[in-house]
């Protein structure tokens, strides 16, 4: 750009100066692009994880990209005060009753999957503490997670992508994945004998990831939690064969008789117990306290229920509970946020987001 | 204008450089955390919220400082189009440094999240919860961030242009010290 005022301010027409004026902002832009992952498509990002869910199960506008099929529930948590010495979270204060909005679901991105297609059920909870803080948790009905890292989780998703020819995952790819990931052994041993339950009410649900409690004395305690059902299977109760949607009906029927209850158990780690590896259960003899009772007394369809617009991000925690060094937790938070933005954008019918087909998206990353 | 020193007032200069660092860091933190699945995601998010509110407070303070201490006038010989660009981009920067934290705060409110600035410090919601509002505000937050970054790049390029090509004292008025004129 020529300077029309050369007389008053002698211009430095040095090409180096112009180069600097262009180079400095360009370097800033490049740095931002690098941090944003735009220069490294191979980097694992939340978007790639959620895209892979869409590759595996199709795009179902408005639904969660994982655990898409589910039902809203509500109730409360009644604390007995036994966890209060370990965590200052108000939810654990003696006698404290905290309202809960929850969600039962089955894993996978297909909201129409038959209930019997997987042996896993999940329970997500949002505790709304009286002080305005929240505790959100997403738990699964298995004692260990198959993998320990987001990278391995992504590899598992890729291996499970249906082959377009058969509509089913390629057994060879799955076998290769499990061979390359021996940490999945404990999960596979569980899965071998696990059967799809006939009811959400008779399952227990594990936090899987480790968290850190902080007590009133400032002491930190590595913990995992789980809920254990009061309801037990009727003898020989099995998932009804050939029926795709029995879990919702079962839940409604049970709630018509009265509330359902789970004990909330908190297990305290011993020094040296792994907090960064959800594939490893802690030994059975670890100190376990019963923090109180979760009471579920109503249910509502997920497309209109209060759980619909809740992102059950397990890193939304009250004072007194914090995330551990478990690498799955930040990845869950990041991927859930991406899924939440997609489905709320679809609900808002924002341009470019309202997808009506159920085919995998072409825009998905390779 | 009653600014005769040719310099921005000292509080304005301190606020400018402090906020420059904070806002630039904030843009990188925001872009980095939404693209990360590692533990970086968690700790960047922990910085992002309190830093955003800090920027909001500093921006309000800075507006007050600016009203009390008018900035030095632009060089009289600056072409009108550049004067216009300078004024427009500065008011855009002010608008964005106030809007960004408010949109982020409103977006978390609309998403039903507790707006936690630390382990126990919580801000009240400033927007009713709802998925449509959340989606709109979340996208707005991202687009405004891009606009802020582009405005920053233009601001940076213009500052260098004043300092290296025109050498008209505009850059020096914010850097402080020697003024060429």
Residue-range domain boundaries for chain B? 10-175
Q: How far apart are CA A254 and CA A159, in angstroms?
A: 38
Mutate to test the interface with B, among A345, A349, A365 (most CBs of B within 10 A): A345
User: Which chain A residue has its CA at the smallest distance from B123's CA?
Assistant: A132
Q: Which residues in chain B are contacts of A14 at CB distance < 8 A?
A: 164
Calculate mean pLDDT across residues B152-177: 93
Chains A, B: CB contacts within 8 A come to: 152
Is A350–B135 a contact, with Cβ atoms under 8 angstroms apart?
yes
| Window 90-149 of B, Cβ < 8 Å to A | 111-114, 116, 119-120, 122, 124, 129-132, 134-136, 138-139, 149
Q: Which residues in chain A are contacts of B112 at CB distance < 8 A?
A: 309-311
| CATH fold for domain B10-175 | Fumarate Reductase Cytochrome B subunit (1.20.950)
The pTM for the full model equals 0.92
Instruction: Report all structural domains of chain A as residue ranges with CATH numbers, in order of start.
Output: 15-41 (no CATH), 45-233+243-347 (2.40.180.10)
Across the interface, which of A17, A309, A330 has its CB nearest the CB of B39? Answer: A330
| The pairing of beta strand A122-128 with beta strand A134-140 | antiparallel
| The pairing of beta strand A220-229 with beta strand A205-206 | antiparallel
Write the secondary structure of chain B as one string of H (helix), E (strand) and C (coil). Answer: CCCCCCCCCHHHHHHHHHHHHHHHHHHHHHHHHHCCCCHHHHHHHHHHHHHHHHHHHHHHHHHHHHHHCCCCCCCCCCCHHHHHHHHHHHHHHHHHHHHHHHHHHHHHHHCCCCEECCCCCEECCCCCCCHHHHHHHHHHHHHHHHHHHHHHHHHHHHHHHHHHHHCCCHHHHHHCCCCCC
Average pLDDT in chain B: 94
d(CA B41, nearest CA chain A) in Å: 6
| Window 295-324 of A, Cβ < 8 Å to B | 308-311, 315-316, 318-319, 322-323
Nearest to B152 by CA among A1, A27, A36, A3: A27
d(CA A275, nearest CA chain B) in Å: 14
pLDDT in tens, B81-121: 999 999 999 999 999 999 999 999 999 999 999 999 999 99
Q: How far apart are CA A277 and CA A100, in angstroms?
A: 28
Is B37–A335 a contact, with Cβ atoms under 8 angstroms apart?
yes
Whether the pLDDT of residue B177 is over 90: the answer is no
Across the interface, which of B32, B153, B164 has its CB nearest the CB of A17? Answer: B164
Per-residue buried b or exposed e for A219-246, using 16+ beta carbons within 10 Å of the residue's own CB? eebbbbbbbebeeeeeeeeebeeeeeeb
Q: Which residues in chain A are contacts of B131 at CB distance < 8 A?
A: 308-309, 343-344, 347-348
Quick one: how far is CA A293 from the chain centroid? 23
d(CA B60, nearest CA chain A) in Å: 26
Mutate to test the interface with A, among B37, B124, B139 (most CBs of A within 10 A): B37
With both helix axes pointing from N to C terminus, report the angle between B131-160 and B10-34 in degrees, rounded to the nearest 10.
130
d(CA B68, nearest CA chain A) in Å: 30
Whether the pLDDT of residue B64 is over 60: the answer is yes
Q: How far apart are CA A264 and CA A280, in angstroms?
A: 20
Per-residue pLDDT of chain A (366 residues), as tens digits, is: 444 444 455 555 688 999 999 999 999 999 999 999 999 999 999 999 999 999 999 999 999 999 999 999 999 999 999 999 999 999 999 999 999 999 999 999 999 999 999 999 999 999 999 999 999 999 999 999 999 999 999 999 999 999 999 999 999 999 999 999 999 999 999 999 999 999 999 999 999 999 999 999 999 999 999 999 998 876 556 777 788 999 999 999 999 999 999 999 999 999 999 999 999 999 999 999 999 999 999 999 999 999 999 999 999 999 999 999 999 999 999 999 999 999 999 999 988 875 544 444 443 333
Q: Which residues in chain A are contacts of B139 at CB distance < 8 A?
A: 341, 345, 350
Nearest to A247 by CA among A303, A304, A197, A307: A197
- Write out the two tokens for A125: 């909870």
Is B157–A340 a contact, with Cβ atoms under 8 angstroms apart?
no
- Using the structure block, give the residue that is written with the tokens 């879990």: A247
Is B37–A17 a contact, with Cβ atoms under 8 angstroms apart?
no
d(CA A125, nearest CA chain B) in Å: 14
Whether the pLDDT of residue B1 is over 80: the answer is no
Q: Which residues in chain B are contacts of A132 at CB distance < 8 A?
A: 114, 122, 124
Q: How far apart are CA A267 and CA A253, in angstroms?
A: 32
Nearest to A279 by CA among A177, A152, A120, A160: A152
Is B167–A311 a contact, with Cβ atoms under 8 angstroms apart?
no
Contact B53, B117 (CB under 8 A): yes
Which pLDDT value is given to residue A354? Answer: 53
d(CA A206, nearest CA chain B) in Å: 22
Quick one: how far is CA A135 from the chain centroid? 14
d(CA A130, nearest CA chain B) in Å: 12
With both helix axes pointing from N to C terminus, report the angle between A46-57 and A328-347 in degrees, rounded to the nearest 10.
60
Instruction: Give catalytic residues of A, as residue numbers.
Output: 67
Q: Look up the ipTM and state it.
A: 0.94
| The pairing of beta strand B122-123 with beta strand A220-229 | unpaired
User: Which chain B residue has its CA at the smallest distance from A323's CA?
Assistant: B42
User: Which chain A residue has its CA at the smallest distance from B44's CA?
Assistant: A330
User: Which chain B residue has its CA at the smallest distance from A90's CA?
Assistant: B120
Burial of A270 (0-12, 13-18, 19+ CB in 10 A): exposed
CB contact set of A77 (below 8 Å; sequence gap of 6+) = A91, A97, A98, A100, A125, A127, A264, A292, A293, A294, A295
Calculate mean pLDDT across residues B51-67: 97
Which pLDDT value is given to residue B21? Answer: 98
Is A150–B36 a contact, with Cβ atoms under 8 angstroms apart?
no
Nearest to A334 by CA among A360, A354, A316, A353: A316
Calculate mean pLDDT across residues B136-157: 98
In sequence order, the β-bridge partners of residue A78 are: A97, A293
- Using the structure block, give the residue that is written with the tokens 């009506």: A356
Q: Which residues in chain B are contacts of A335 at CB distance < 8 A?
A: 37
Model confidence band, residue B2 (pLDDT cutoffs 50, 70, 90): low
Is B37–A37 a contact, with Cβ atoms under 8 angstroms apart?
no
């Amino acid at each position: 750009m020529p300077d029309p005022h050369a007389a008053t301010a002698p211009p430095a027409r040095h090409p180096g100066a112009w180069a600097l004026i262009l180079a400095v902002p360009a370097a800033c832009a490049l740095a931002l692009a690098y941090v944003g992952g735009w220069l490294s498509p191979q980097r694992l990002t939340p978007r790639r994880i959620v895209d892979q869910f869409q590759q595996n199960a199709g795009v179902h506008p408005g639904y969660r990209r994982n655990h898409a099929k589910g039902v809203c529930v509500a109730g409360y948590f009644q604390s007995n005060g036994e966890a209060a010495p370990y965590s200052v979270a108000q939810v654990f204060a003696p006698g404290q009753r905290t309202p809960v909005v929850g969600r039962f679901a089955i894993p996978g991105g297909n909201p129409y999957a038959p209930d019997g297609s997987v042996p896993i059920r999940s329970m997500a909870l949002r505790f709304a503490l009286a002080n305005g803080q929240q505790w959100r948790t997403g738990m699964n009905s298995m004692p260990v997670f198959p993998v320990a890292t987001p990278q391995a989780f992504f590899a598992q998703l890729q291996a499970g992508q249906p082959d377009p020819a058969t509509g089913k995952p390629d057994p060879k790819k799955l076998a290769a994945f499990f061979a390359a990931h021996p940490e999945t052994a404990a999960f596979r041993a569980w899965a071998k004998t696990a059967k799809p339950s006939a009811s959400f009410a008779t399952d227990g649900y594990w936090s899987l990831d480790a968290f850190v409690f902080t007590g009133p004395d400032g002491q930190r305690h590595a913990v995992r939690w789980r809920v254990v059902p009061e309801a037990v299977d009727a003898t020989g109760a099995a998932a009804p064969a050939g029926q795709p949607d029995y879990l919702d009906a079962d839940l409604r029927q049970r709630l018509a008789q009265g509330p359902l209850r789970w004990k909330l158990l908190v297990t305290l780690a011993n020094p040296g117990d792994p907090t960064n590896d959800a594939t490893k259960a802690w030994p059975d003899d670890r100190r376990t306290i019963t923090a109180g009772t979760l009471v579920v007394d109503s249910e509502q369809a997920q497309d209109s229920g209060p759980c619909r617009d809740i992102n059950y991000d397990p890193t939304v925690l009250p004072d007194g509970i914090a995330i551990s060094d478990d690498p799955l937790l930040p990845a869950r938070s990041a991927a859930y946020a991406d899924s939440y933005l997609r489905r709320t954008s679809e609900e808002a019918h924002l341009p470019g987001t309202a997808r009506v087909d159920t085919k995998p998206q072409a825009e998905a990353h390779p | 204008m009653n600014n005769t020193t040719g310099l921005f007032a000292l509080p304005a200069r301190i606020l400018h450089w402090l906020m420059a660092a904070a806002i630039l860091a904030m843009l990188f933190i925001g872009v980095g955390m939404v693209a990360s699945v590692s533990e970086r995601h968690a700790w960047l998010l922990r910085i992002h919220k309190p830093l955003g509110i800090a920027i909001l407070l500093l921006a309000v303070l800075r507006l007050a400082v600016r009203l009390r201490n008018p900035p030095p006038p632009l060089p009289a010989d600056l072409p009108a189009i550049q004067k216009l660009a300078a004024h427009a981009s500065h008011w855009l920067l002010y608008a964005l440094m106030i809007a960004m934290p408010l949109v982020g705060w409103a977006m978390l409110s609309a998403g039903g999240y507790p707006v936690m600035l630390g382990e126990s410090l919580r801000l009240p919601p400033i927007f009713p919860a709802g998925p449509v509002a959340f989606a709109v505000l979340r996208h707005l937050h991202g687009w405004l961030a891009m606009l802020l970054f582009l405005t920053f790049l233009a601001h940076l390029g213009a500052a260098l242009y004043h300092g290296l090509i025109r050498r008209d004292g505009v850059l020096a008025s914010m850097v402080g010290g020697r003024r060429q004129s």
